[in-house]
Every structure is written in C-alpha cells, then in structure tokens.
C-alpha cells in the first residue's frame, strides 16, 4: 500500500505546477497540437513540449500522431474529474 501512496503523491506533484494545469484545462476542450497550445497560452513551443512530456509520463495526456503532427488530449475522464473536483473545492465558500 505504501507504494501506491507514493505514486499518489507523485501524481499530485504533477498537478502542483500552474503551467501544467493551464495546459490540462485547455485540453478539456479537445485535442490540440503543440502550436495550438503555445499560441493559446502565449508560451514558446519548447516550454509547452517540456510540460507535455511530464504530463504524458504521468499518464495525464495521450498523444496521437497524424503524419508529422502530434495531437495531445486528456488521457481519460479521471483527469477531467480531478480538475473539476479541485476547482469545485477551491471555489467553495
């Protein structure tokens, strides 16, 4: 059980970065490529790619290749649920 607790702590560490949260929120609207994400967040593509790599390694996003283009989306509905529940929690008064 301790291993799973450490894995959960690592998952929450990934969520601790506001840039990664912004990317995840953007992907709530559907799949996007690095260029779309960097344009919408006013970030350079290198920084976005770095954050997407972390999100992919944590199984929070998945990638689909279409020719040379790579499209990113949320891995599953759990990611959306975590984001929504977290936002509900901080908006409570």
All domains of the chain, ordered by start, with CATH?
Answer: 2-91 (1.10.10.10)
Which tens digits make up the pLDDT trace of 2-23?
Answer: 899 999 999 999 999 999 999 9
DSSP states of the chain as a string?
Answer: -HHHHHHHHHHHHHTT-HHHHHHHHHHTT--EEHHHHHHHHT--HHHHHHHHHHHHHTTSEEEEEETTEEEEEESSHHHHHHHHHHHHHHH--
> Whole-prediction pTM value?
0.93
- pLDDT for the residue 62: 98
């Amino acid at each position: 059980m301790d291993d799973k607790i450490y894995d959960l702590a690592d998952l929450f560490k990934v969520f601790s970065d506001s840039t990664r949260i912004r990317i995840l929120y953007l992907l709530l609207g559907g799949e996007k490529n690095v260029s779309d994400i960097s344009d919408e967040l006013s970030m350079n593509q290198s920084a976005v790619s770095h954050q997407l790599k972390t999100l992919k390694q944590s199984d929070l996003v998945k990638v689909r290749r279409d020719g040379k283009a790579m499209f990113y989306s949320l891995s599953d509905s759990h990611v959306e649920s975590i984001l929504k529940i977290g936002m509900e929690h901080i908006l409570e008064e």
